[in-house]
Chain A
Amino acid sequence: MNKVLLRLRVNGEDREIAVAPNRVLLDALREDLGLTGSKRGCDDSSCGCCAVLIDGVPMLACVALAASYQECEITTVEGLAAPGELDPVQEGFAECGGAQCGFCTPGFLIATKALLARHPNPTREEIRGALSSNLCRCTGYMQIYESICYAVEKMRAKTPAAAR
Chain B
Amino acid sequence: MPTRWRNERLLVNTESNTTKVLLLLSAAFALLAVAFLGNLWGRSPASPKISLVDTNFLDKATARRSYADLIKAGEDLSDFDCYACHEKGKAPPLRFDTNQNLIIPKEHSDIVMHHGSHERNNNCFNCHDELNLELFQTRDKRELKLSNSAPLCGSCHGPTYRDWEAGVHGRTGGYWNRSLGEIDRKLCVNCHNPHSPKFPGRKPAPGPHPLRGGGAAVAHAEIKH
Q: Do A and B bind each other?
A: no
- Interface residues of chain A, those whose CB is within 8 Å of chain B, are none
